[in-house]
């Protein structure tokens, strides 16, 4: 079930998130965690902060073995209502354009995993680098 968050200042909460589609190919679905989020209104946009800790299973892109890693995410996005504002904010924040008065949290977290999920074992752990 998606988490729908109203675009309103001071909105904050913790939700159970289960991501099982749209994930990077190297991750083994589902990815589950508790996510804390907070919205703060700015002049013409909102800052969305979210944080979560989780353990993810993934396929190491070097040795192709299944592996597990802990992920600690703490990030802030700028939610804008139009493309012009998004462009102006690009140098300072990661802007996301929102259509409407609320948004779905999950797709933003899927995007986060595309950026943050591990790619490879550390060299000591990787089977390929031991041979
Ligand atoms: Zn490896």
Per residue in 21-68, pLDDT tens?
Answer: 999 999 999 999 999 999 999 988 999 999 999 999 999 999 999 999
Q: What is the pLDDT of residue 124?
A: 86
86 φ/ψ angles, rounded to the nearest 5 degrees = -60, -45
Q: Residue 131 above 60 pLDDT?
A: no
The C-alpha atoms of residue 64 and residue 13 are separated, in whole angstroms, by: 37
Q: What is the pLDDT of residue 53?
A: 98
Q: What is the pLDDT of residue 5?
A: 96
Q: What is the pLDDT of residue 127?
A: 79
What mean pLDDT, rounded, does the chain reach?
A: 93
**Residue reference for tokens 């504002």:** 85
Q: Residue 129 above 80 pLDDT?
A: no
Q: What is the pLDDT of residue 1?
A: 79
Distance 25 CA to ligand 1 centre (A): 16
Distance 113 CA to ligand 1 centre (A): 19
Which pair of tokens denotes residue 125?
């752990």
Closest to 94 (Cα-Cα) out of 118, 116, 73, 112: 112
Distance 59 CA to ligand 1 centre (A): 8
In percent, the amount of the chain with pLDDT more than 70 equals 97
Q: What is the pLDDT of residue 15?
A: 97
38 φ/ψ angles, rounded to the nearest 5 degrees = -150, 135
The C-alpha atoms of residue 114 and residue 117 are separated, in whole angstroms, by: 6
């Amino acid at each position: 079930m998606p988490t729908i968050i109203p675009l309103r200042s001071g909105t904050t909460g913790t939700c159970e998130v289960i991501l099982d589609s749209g994930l990077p190919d190297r991750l083994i679905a589902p990815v589950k965690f508790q996510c804390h989020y907070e919205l703060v209104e700015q002049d013409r946009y909102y800052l969305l902060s979210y944080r979560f800790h989780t353990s993810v299973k993934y396929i190491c892109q070097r040795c192709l073995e299944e592996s597990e890693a802990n992920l600690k995410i703490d990030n802030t996005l700028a939610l804008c209502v139009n493309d012009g504002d998004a462009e102006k904010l690009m140098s300072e924040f990661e802007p996301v354009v929102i259509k409407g008065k609320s948004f779905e949290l999950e797709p933003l977290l899927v995007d986060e995993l595309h950026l943050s999920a591990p790619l490879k074992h550390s060299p000591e752990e990787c089977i390929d680098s031991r041979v």
